[in-house]
Amino acid sequence: MNPTKIDYLTHTHNVFVGCTGKKCAVGLKRCWAKKQAKRKKPYVRDGKTHGCQKCYLFTPHVHDKRFLEPSTVKKPCRVGLNFMSDTFEAAFNQADIAKLFLMIEEARQHTFLMKTKQPQNIQNNFWVFPRNLWLGVSVNCKADLWRIDKLLALRPAPIISYASIEPLYSSLGTAEELMARFYPYLGHKLDWIIIGGQTKPTLKPEITWVREIEVAAEKLGIPVFEKNNIGKLTLIQQLPKV
């Protein structure tokens, strides 16, 4: 596990790495994770190859040795899991996901945050969600809102369900429209919302877009965490109640 500067985490841990970019409104050309992977080109020193070619190429693959790491860290951490991939990418099989869930269950001292762009691949009748897992979906624009619908239709209680709205590229709708998405009729309500901008290159969302999300969340009693890259002078930085 690696320490991180991400505002709401203490560490990241990437057992799965890589993605095909399918079902992604942003696409791999604007993918933050792929750009991070390109910073670590494999090299040869003393006749040995250092680094991972599959990571560099962003080819979906699993680092099996990393399944064991979280249990060796005793101090409780808030861990961003597989942020360099998408756990529910079709390239990853059910057996690997089951091993990942077992890893989370065995490292109960930690809280793991996982987010996906492909919630349609989540089979909640196949897995038991560990209680120390927070499960979220990534949303960048209005075309991505179906992911929230899919997540809430799963009703993954008792775990935390959240929307990671970062980078926010456009308005998601009015506060009234968003309230219906965040808490559908007879549905499961979102437990948390993250809002962020983009770095390298810097793109900050319009404050009016952010405000509509804030109003909807406030009316529904949903905590909001705003990252420091959205350009607001006063940030809301709330965590969900566990």
Taking 90 as the threshold, does the pLDDT of residue 186 lie above it?
Answer: no
The secondary structure element, H or E, covering residue 164 is: strand 160-165
Query: Is the same domain home to 161 and 212?
Result: yes
Domain boundary (135, 154, 189) is at 135
**Residues with Cβ < 8 Å from 101, sequence gap 6 or more?**
127, 128, 129, 130, 133
Query: Is the same domain home to 34 and 21?
Result: yes
Letter for the amino acid at 225? Answer: F
Domain boundary (135, 169, 190) is at 135
Report whether 110 contacts 101 (CB < 8 A). Answer: no
Query: Is the same domain home to 120 and 210?
Result: no
- pLDDT tens digits, one per residue of 83-118: 989 999 888 998 999 999 999 999 999 999 999 999
Q: What is the pLDDT of residue 123?
A: 79
Q: What percent of the chain has pLDDT over 90?
A: 67
Domain boundary (92, 114, 135) is at 135
Q: What is the pLDDT of residue 116?
A: 93
- Would you say the pTM of this structure is higher than 0.85? yes
Burial 115-144 (b: 16+ CB within 10 A, else e): bbbbbebbeeeebebbebbbbbbbbbeeeb
Q: What is the pLDDT of residue 137?
A: 96
Alpha-carbon distance of 119 to 152, in angstroms, equals: 10
Average pLDDT over the chain, rounded to whole?
A: 89
Report whether 6 contacts 80 (CB < 8 A). Answer: yes
- pLDDT tens digits, one per residue of 24-72: 545 555 676 677 766 677 667 777 767 778 888 888 899 999 999 999 9
**Residues with Cβ < 8 Å from 181, sequence gap 6 or more?**
145, 148, 149, 173
- pLDDT tens digits, one per residue of 207-226: 999 999 999 999 999 999 99
